[in-house]
Amino acid sequence: MSPASIQDEHDSDEDVEFEDVPVSCNRDRQDGDMSIVLPVTPHPPWNPTLSLPPQRAQPIPSGSMEETQLRGQISAGIERVTYRKMKSDMGMDAPGTPTSERRYESFKELAADVEGLVDMLWASATPAIQTEALITLAGLTQTSLPAFPFEAQPTLSILHKLDSVFAALCTGTHPVDGLVLPGAQPGQSLATETQKVRIRSLAERTRYEVFSCLGRSSGKVADGDGWDEEDSGDEVDEPWMLEATRVYEKCLMLLAEQDPEGESEGMEFNCL
């Protein structure tokens, strides 16, 4: 084989070796620079996990000591979250304040306390206590959002759990396995019509608040339906924008026909 043939075969092998490299080159004819464009991998969708504790086989009997204890624990927990949130608004703590009573430094801390109470209510499998307390916790979560810098994962995670639990109570089915909830009959809702209206109103207000917080974190302003007309949208570099559209998605789809005029404002969980 001649040297020229050997060289031709070597060149052919090199062409095959680099044939599938995903790099495109664009040469600027004016300055001769070579620009290399690499493929961009899109941000993968965020799929929040739903972790719920096991439930009781039956609701707690009405009027029992166990019911009284649960109401007391939930009431005390809600008061503690409210108290710590108030101290966050004030921006101060007294010297020697126990860690469990100090002001929240972030929304993530508040969400962790709220989630603990949500899990306690879910495990109780007692709608007479669950629904009103959950509405109070959801309202507290919504009003706390603008008080802290926006944190996407803890915010969307707690709202996803609240959405799933509310939808479960409204349908009487478990959000994970689809089984009928303890104390319910197939197709039976464990929430009253008034509670459903209040849940829907809370869901709508919370979704608006999330978009407002996300807009502020991106330097943009929400107008209720989206972003104001002066914004081109180029500045929004938030991979969470699409996820924010899923806030309370289950409840809003489920309760789309509910009349918001029937909402009862100011109703909160009563431990008595």
Tell me if 117 sits within 8 A of 51, measured CB to CB.
Answer: no
Flag whether 35 is in a domain: no
Neighbours of 148 (CB within 10 A): 20
Domain count, the chain: 1
Tell me the C-alpha distance between 97 and 117, whole Å: 22
Per-residue pLDDT for the chain (272 aa), expressed as one digit of tens each? Answer: 555 554 555 554 444 444 444 444 444 445 545 454 444 444 555 677 889 999 999 999 999 999 999 999 999 999 999 999 999 988 888 888 888 889 999 999 999 999 999 999 999 999 999 999 999 999 999 999 999 999 989 999 999 999 999 999 999 999 998 899 998 888 889 999 999 999 999 999 999 999 998 888 766 544 444 444 444 444 444 567 888 888 999 999 999 865 544 444 444 555 43
Per-residue pLDDT, 56: 94
Residue 180 parent element (H or E):
none
Domain of 152, in residue numbers: 65-262
Per-residue pLDDT, 257: 66
Flag whether 51 is in a domain: no
Flag whether 212 is in a domain: yes
Tell me if 251 sits within 8 A of 163, measured CB to CB.
Answer: yes
Flag whether 23 is in a domain: no
Flag whether 46 is in a domain: no
DSSP string, 78-138: HHHHHHHHHHHHHT---TT--GGGSPPSSHHHHHHHHHHHHHHHHHHT-HHHHHHHHHHHH
Neighbours of 61 (CB within 10 A): 10
Per-residue pLDDT, 106: 93
3-state secondary structure of 25: strand
Flag whether 19 is in a domain: no
